[in-house]
Each structure stands twice: as C-alpha cells, then as structure tokens.
Amino acid sequence: MSATSPSRAVLPPDIRGRKGQLPLVVLTAYTTPGARLVDAHCDIALVGDSVGMVLHGMPSTLGVTMEMMILHGRAVVRGLTKAMAVIDMPFGSYEESPQQAYRNAARLMAETGAPAVKLEGGAHMAETIAFLVKRGVPVMAHIGLTPQAVNTLGGYKVVGRDGEANTVMEDALAVQAAGAFAVVLEKVPMGLAARITQRLEIPTIGIGAGVQCDGQVLVMEDMLGLFTDFRPKFVKRYAELGAMALEAIADYAAEVRGRQFPAEEHSFPDVLKGPKT
Ligand code: KIV
C-alpha cells in the first residue's frame, strides 16, 4: 500500500455520516505506539499540533513546523489499521492564501498518508476550506478557542459567551457551507455547543464543549494523567500514568543504587546450561 492510497477503513464520508449517531471518539496521537492505542477504541487519531507542547516542551503551538507534523503524521499512520488519521496544519502553513494552504495540505497528505487535515478558523477561513475541499483535501474545521490565535485571543479562554455566541454560530455555519466534513468546537459554552450541534448537518467534535456534541476529543496524555501538574477543567483523567511512572522510576533508581537490579534473571550466565536464550 502506498503512502498516498486510502488504506484506512474509516474515511471522511464515514465520519460525516455519523451525524446524530453513536458519538465519535477522537484522541490525539503523535507516535506509532500512541496510534496503536487509539486504533483499538477510537474513530479518529488526531495528529494535533499540540505535539509541540506535549512532546517537544514548546510554550504554545506557534513554533510547530510542517516537518514536525510530517514526521509525527507518518509515525501515526504506521500504527493505524482502522481509525482515520487527521493531521493538523501548523501555524503559518495555510493562512496566507488558499493556494498556500493547498500546497501544504497536499504535502501533509502525500508525505504522511493521512486522508484529511484540520485547520483553525471560522468564517475568515471559509474560502480556503472551499478551495481545499474542491481539490480533494477533506477538511476538519476548528472553531471556538483556536490555540494558534492565543495571542490575539489573549489566552486560552472560553469563546462564545454573551455577545460572542452569534459569531461562533456564524463560524460553524460558514465552515459547513465551505465543505468541512466535521468541526471541532473548543472551549465553547455547552448550551451554545448544543445549539450549533442541532443546527449543523456535519458532526461537531467537542473539547470543553459539553456532552451534546456529536463526538469528543481529548489530548491522550491529558486523559491518561501523564502530567501531574496540568489539570484543565475540561479534562477527565481516566488514569494517573504520570504518578505511576514516577513511582516506577523511583523504584528503578533505588534498585540500581542498591545493586538489586539487574538480578540474576536479567543477566546472562557465562556458561549455558539449558536452551540458548
Ligand atoms: O492540537 C490538538 O491537539 C487539537 C485538539 C486539542 C483539538 O487541536
């Protein structure tokens, strides 16, 4: 199978067809082992530009490059057998013009094998979304809090309260009219997210947007509790892997220092008695 052929069981029309059905389950993945975990239970593995903050220690997603997305995108696609990969377009790779967006979206798809891209922005990105969709690039839109605009928004705030609600609704309608197959609603108040979900014919995928969305997305490391000091309100921690890992590493360090590891069973004898191992 070539990197550019549609090798996944789930493709954008399947996701579009899930409107109002069983909720869509989406997690981020950045690596092959991560993708295998997502593939076991989810519909979509999102290669989010959150990779910059989660794996590379960046202060925001603004420094993420095309090369990083391609490297992580390839690793994720290798780990999937059923779930669909969606790959984020990084900051600066699509905002200048529809042509720039097409060039970079086509490169992301061709070089990773992901069958769809995600980009941030509502009504002001509608022309670009339409340009991409008409040329064979399935687009998942992302509105509400758009982290690449953190400096314009003034922080990672809830978007859509009071006077902002109409703008978010207009953004949702605009990306749908432009041909997006689904839309992420990030940090949108739950009542507004429910109204948008009712009004749209494409699935809404919420993150901090309440239970009425057509699906949910979380950063895998957040829901696994990998970071002991990062606890946003919209994340439910389904495990405490960070604390478990710290405990395991402390045990390892103590055993190395106490010469308890490696034990005999982890070492190779000088003379073999049984079968070769
Ligand atoms: O980059 C990302 O992980 C995302 C999700 C949080 C929606 O865009």
Residue 267 lies in a domain: no
CB-based contacts of 35, cutoff 8 Å, min separation 6: 29, 45, 75, 76, 77, 78, 79, 80, 83, 85
Residue-wise pLDDT tens for the chain (277 aa)?
344 444 447 999 999 999 999 999 999 999 999 999 999 999 999 999 999 999 999 999 999 999 999 999 999 999 999 999 999 999 999 999 999 999 999 999 999 999 999 999 999 999 999 999 999 999 999 999 999 999 999 999 999 998 899 999 999 999 999 999 999 999 999 999 999 999 999 999 999 999 999 999 999 999 999 998 888 999 999 999 999 999 999 999 999 999 999 999 999 999 987 776 6
Ligand 1, atom 1, residue with closest C-alpha: 48
Catalytic position from the list 186, 240, 255, 264 = 186
Ligand 1, atom 5, residue with closest C-alpha: 48
Residue 270 lies in a domain: no
Query: Whole-prediction pTM value?
Result: 0.94
Three-class HEC string of the chain? CCCCCCCCCCCHHHHHCCCCCCCEEEEECCCHHHHHHHHHHCCEEEECCCHHHHCCCCCCCCCCCHHHHHHHHHHHHHCCCCCEEEEECCCCCCCCCHHHHHHHHHHHHHHHCCCEEEEECCHHHHHHHHHHHHCCCCEEEEEECCHHHHHHHCCCCCCCCHHHHHHHHHHHHHHHHHCCCEEEEECCCHHHHHHHHHHCCCCEEEECCCCCCCEEEECHHHHCCCCCCCCCCCCCCCCCHHHHHHHHHHHHHHHHHCCCCCCHHHCCCCCCCCCCC
Closest atom, ligand 1, to C-alpha of 147: 8
- The two tokens of residue 228 are 């002991």
Closest atom, ligand 1, to C-alpha of 28: 3
Q: What are the beta bridge partners of residue 120?
A: 142
Q: Which residues line ligand 1 (CB under 6 A)?
A: 28, 46, 48-50, 88, 142, 184, 186, 207, 217, 219
Closest atom, ligand 1, to C-alpha of 184: 7
Ligand 1, atom 3, residue with closest C-alpha: 48
What residue numbers bound the domain in which 216 lies?
12-239
95: phi then psi, degrees, rounded to nearest 5: -80, -20
Q: 262 C-alpha to center of ligand 1: Å?
A: 41
Rounded CA-CA distance 211/203 in Å is 13
Active site residue 186: yes
Phi-psi region of 200 (alpha: psi -120 to 50; beta: other; left: phi over 0): beta
CATH number at residue 170: 3.20.20.60
Number of structural domains found in the chain = 1
